[in-house]
Structure 1
Amino acid sequence: MIDPCILDKYLQDEAGGGLVFWHPKGAIVRHIIEDAWKRIHIQHGYDLLYTPHVAKADLWKISGHLDFYKENMFDQMEIEEELYQLRPMNCPYHILVYKRKLHSYRDFPIRVAELGTVYRYELSGSLHGLFRVRGFTQDDAHIFCLDDQIKDEIRGVLDLTEEILLQFGFDKYEVNLSTRPEKSVGGDDIWEKATVALKDALDDKGWSYQIDDGGGAFYGPKIDLKIEDALGRKWQCSTIQVDFNLPQRFDITYVDSNQEKKRPIMIHRAVLGSLERFFGVLVEHYAGDFPLWLSPIQARLLPVTDTQLEYCHEVNNRLKANGIRSEVCSGERLPKLIRTSEKLKIPLMAVVGPKEVETQTVTVRSRSGGELGTMAIDDFISKAKYAIENRTFF
């Protein structure tokens, strides 16, 4: 496990076990993840949502959480003689958004997505770093569709999942398809149709998978992905679940071509699982050595002496103006500044001495490639921006 104190990206402290504090560097990485996630979802036809962290307890009664999930929920709170509860899941909120208007069969598919923070009561002994916490943000999405759209929507989710995971360096997965358990809701026909749709989508995608007979949720079949990191370790992240239960509990409907009310299919899906867990997986995958585009600090300016500090700050301002995350580090001899920067996994170091000030240049060192030579500031900025935008090496 990588020492989070060295990376200084997150912290859990006495404010509460299992509650994550994102420090500035970790917050930058989280912002990058969120920004990429949002852009891709908009491109794939999702509408983004923001919903509250609490709701009246009645909502969780309708959803069934108070009957089947209460031990994982925090205690209710009373507000003006009504009971409220922190949300353990986002699904009921997205259903309420769906129910705000009457839908026609022509509206489908409807895709909504949210980076929604949820709270689940975990015993202190089960808490584990970023991988098991009490408050976390899920990359949650729900698709409302017709029966004959299930396969295409599942295939679309598989494509989107692959696109997102590849961006972060994951291209190996273990895929499981879980089928109908002994106790379930929904008729035989729709279970068969949904299960076949999931199989066909996986087959069309060309992914190998294992079948877990009877391992599905009581409300529908599901696909789970475990991603493999650089050391061959597997991490549960992505999930796709068909749900026949919540549409019935919330009585959601649409009007078909015969002007009759019908019930849509609901698909739950998450690609990253949670931002906290996925960040932990990223740290393990890269051993804290994030690629340039994902690094919280992409470049450090290192003066040989304090005489070059003013010039370093001028260059630093130009880097920041061009969207490059940079900082000036001084106060030690140059060899120590370089060692410290390498220890902190800074991708690029720009050394500045009297010669660089005179020629308006910087001497560039790469964390992975060593000394790269002296460059004009504009050339350094141009190369760095290209590498960041195209997610390549400098």
Structure 2
Amino acid sequence: MHESVGTNGRVDLDMRYVACQVGTMLVDLTLHQEGALVERWHPKGLEVLRHTAAHVLAQAVKRLYPDTQVTIGPVIEEGFYYDFLTDRSFQPSDLLRIEAEMHQIVSENLPIQRSEWSEAQAISYFLNRNEPFKAQIIRDLPKEGALFIYTQGEFIDLCRGPHCPSTGYLKDAFKLLRVSGAYWRGDAKGQPLQRIYGTAWAEKKDLEAYLYRIEEAEKRDHRKIGKAMDLYHFQDLAPGCIFWHPYGWRLHLLLQEYIRERLGGDYREVNTPQLVSRSLWQASGHWDQYHENMFVLGDLGNEFALKPMNCPCHVQIFNQGTKSYKELPLRFSEFGSCHRNEPSGALSGLMRARNFVQDDAHIFCTPEQISSETQKFCHLLHSVYSDLGFHDVLVRFATRPEKRLGDDTLWDQAEESLKEGAEKSHLNYTLHPGEGAFYGPKLEFTLKDSLGRLWQCGTLQVDFVLPGRLGAFYVDSGGKQKPTVMLHRAILGSFERFMGIMLEHYSGKLPLWLAPVQLVICSISEKAENYSLQVLERFKNAGFRVELDCRNEKISNKIRHHSLRKVGCIGILGLKEASQDSVNLRIGQNEEVMTISDAIDRLKEVIFKKSIL
């Protein structure tokens, strides 16, 4: 008998369900009478809708441009794409035409049917249809397992499925977004292709909400905001590396100082070299897994790498001198500058750079201390996120993968201790079996921003492999030498990426306690300049980051200029204010005249409470 997955009380029974879940597998609704029904609003249901939308996109392109060759069309986060080979250069007008044809296909409500073909039959069919990419995909598939073909009207495609029962299930809740260049199988030396991106949702109102979010996201792009606030820039002299301007570096340092303060005396701050011998990366295992993403210097046999992470270096500090169980847990923190040789096409402003600083720390402890250390970290992490204005935090608990190091007894202990710590921390987590690291289970913390977007930032990873590889041992109460457990943990992750997230979350209007400039004093005329200088000093002496604008400009122009700079507080001073020892304090769109003392007290209270203006 069917059960439902994702029941939400909606009553559109005709197209409410889009697939069926049998065990852990999603299957076509039309092929199974057993299992759990998957609703279109459920995340798994959305994947099915988007997968179907990709096929409808390919069908529309083939109808309009028959000589086009189709390649692959997967589901991606919040949407889908399909790659095509064609002599035509797709333009925005083409996307409108293709989208209109997609709506026509949806209105035809074509049944989507799955069949199983032999490899020879499928290769022959696609070659005869001038679809060599599909034939190549089939040749490269594992020989065992079924080969599924999906048919909707005149369009036939190779696919693992599942799909909606018919094209009509898409309704009018989809849209094509953009076209970009791509390469066959992601290889820059491969055949250049054109990629059309789209999105699909359960209902039109969900689509409209998404389109609003991406419109807002474009307005809030941290690269635009960073320029308006004069925070930083990039240039080809150092691709993927940031030239920090005074205001941007001030924000960077403010975040560092805040994290340093929150760590307090529980962590010992360290600093480790940027350039480290290849021998350490080989011993840690990173060289085999990661060296293509490292910047390497020197000749073979005498090679060094700019560190892409800090953990092996922290082990070197731990290894200086014998450690007793009485000294554990031992916590090392570092604002470690790391370099990773990211592909140029993957660089994305602050969100993905080649040089970045992490709020990195490693906790060396005994297996029995994993639970208590987890609780301490989770409490700290949620407190920090709350201070920074992020209150909606999703947590993933990833357990042992199929390919892993260490025996099952050790894994049992690590997972049980991490679970105990998570539950005592009252974490509402989702379990993700098999998605842990090869060296241990982990917690991943994902923030939801003001636009509803998700950003994975924090992590706590249990590692009982690296300490053994690098000889990190402690002496237990019986005098025996035992390998320590190493907890990799970060709250912000990359400072640069987190700053980008914050700039977009707040649309540049940062909380006053973090703002590079907390207040700008603007004089209305030259006659108020002396008073403005006195007020400037009073705010400086009170500890504010304050600037003075006495330019010979209209006050309306000054206000507009500093508003575009995202300055949250503007103090307006004229002769009237000078006669009353007051300031016209503008916070956002609100203005209030108050004494200088009251203004100082008001802003200090906002800063102390870490309030949002």
TM over 0.5: yes
**Distance in 2 of aligned mates of 1:168 and 1:264:** 33
Partner of 1:92: 312
Residue of 280, 286, 291 corresponding to 1:59: 280
How far off is 1:159 after superposition?
0.9
**Is 86-95 or 25-34 further displaced after alignment?**
25-34
Provide closer, same or farther for how the CA distance between residues 242 and 346 of structure 1 changes in structure 2, counting only shifts above 3 A.
same
How far off is 1:117 after superposition?
0.6
Partner of 1:384: 603
Provide closer, same or farther for how the CA distance between residues 124 and 372 of structure 1 changes in structure 2, counting only shifts above 3 A.
same
2:560 is aligned with 1:349? no
Partner of 1:8: 230
Considering only aligned residues, what root-mean-square deviation do their CA atoms show, in Å? 1.6
CA contact (8 A) 1:161 1:271 kept: yes
CA contact (8 A) 1:177 1:211 kept: yes
- Kindly report which structure 2 residues correspond to 1:284-323, keeping only aligned pairs within 5 A, or say none: 284-323=504-543
Residue of 213, 219, 242 corresponding to 1:20: 242
How far off is 1:393 after superposition?
5.7
Q: Deviations over 1:273-311 (max 9, x none)?
A: 110000001011111111211111111111111222232
Partner of 2:172: none
CA contact (8 A) 1:177 1:223 kept: yes
**Distance in 2 of aligned mates of 1:14 and 1:290:** 29
CA contact (8 A) 1:57 1:76 kept: no
SS across alignment from 1:130: helix
SS across alignment from 2:296: coil
Q: Deviations over 1:98-154 (max 9, x none)?
A: 001111111111111111011011110111111111011111110111111111111
Partner of 1:264: 484
Aligned residue identity for 2:314: H
**Distance in 1 of aligned mates of 2:468 and 2:347:** 34
**Distance in 1 of aligned mates of 2:279 and 2:501:** 36
Residue of 418, 436, 440 corresponding to 1:216: 436
Aligned residue identity for 1:353: G
Residue of 290, 308, 326 corresponding to 1:69: 290
CA contact (8 A) 1:55 1:85 kept: yes
How far off is 1:32 after superposition?
1.5
**Distance in 2 of aligned mates of 1:125 and 1:84:** 26
CA contact (8 A) 2:308 2:339 kept: yes
Partner of 1:42: 264
* Unaligned segments of structure 1, at least 5 residues: none
Provide closer, same or farther for how the CA distance between residues 393 and 127 of structure 1 changes in structure 2, counting only shifts above 3 A.
closer
SS across alignment from 1:85: strand
- What is the percentage of aligned positions where both structures have the same residue? 37
Partner of 2:40: none
Partner of 1:143: 363
Q: Looking at CA atoms only, which structure, 1 or 2, has the larger radius of gyration? A: 2
2:582 is aligned with 1:358? no
Aligned residue identity for 1:30: H
- Kindly report which structure 2 residues correspond to 1:223-242, keeping only aligned pairs within 5 A, or say none: 223-242=443-462
Aligned residue identity for 1:337: K
For these two proteins, the number of residue pairs brought into alignment is 390
Q: Deviations over 1:349-369 (max 9, x none)?
A: 11111122233322222114x
Aligned residue identity for 1:390: K
How far off is 1:331 after superposition?
2.4
Partner of 2:330: 110
CA contact (8 A) 1:362 1:377 kept: yes
Aligned residue identity for 1:127: L
SS across alignment from 1:225: strand
Q: Deviations over 1:44-65 (max 9, x none)?
A: x111111111112221121112
CA contact (8 A) 1:111 1:141 kept: yes
CA contact (8 A) 1:177 1:212 kept: yes
**Distance in 2 of aligned mates of 1:386 and 1:236:** 32
**Distance in 1 of aligned mates of 2:472 and 2:587:** 56
Q: TM-score, normalising length from structure 1?
A: 0.95
**Distance in 2 of aligned mates of 1:289 and 1:393:** 9
How far off is 1:252 after superposition?
1.3
How far off is 1:26 after superposition?
1.4
Q: Deviations over 1:175-204 (max 9, x none)?
A: 111111111111111101111112222222
Ranges of 4+ aligned residues in structure 1 off by more than 3 Å? none
Provide closer, same or farther for how the CA distance between residues 78 and 359 of structure 1 changes in structure 2, counting only shifts above 3 A.
farther
**Distance in 1 of aligned mates of 2:438 and 2:316:** 22
Partner of 2:201: none
* Unaligned segments of structure 2, at least 5 residues: 1-220
Partner of 1:120: 340
Aligned residue identity for 2:231: K
CA contact (8 A) 2:319 2:471 kept: no
Aligned residue identity for 1:67: D
2:192 is aligned with 1:192? no
How far off is 1:14 after superposition?
2.3
Q: Deviations over 1:71-120 (max 9, x none)?
A: 111122369x9432210110011101100111111111111111101101
Q: TM-score, normalising length from structure 2?
A: 0.62
SS across alignment from 2:493: coil
SS across alignment from 1:196: helix
Residue of 398, 408, 418 corresponding to 1:178: 398
- Kindly indicate whether structure 1 or structure 2 has the higher relative contact order, using CA contacts under 8 Å at least 6 residues apart: 1
CA contact (8 A) 1:345 1:367 kept: no
Provide closer, same or farther for how the CA distance between residues 187 and 393 of structure 1 changes in structure 2, counting only shifts above 3 A.
closer
**Distance in 2 of aligned mates of 1:262 and 1:207:** 31
2:503 is aligned with 1:280? no
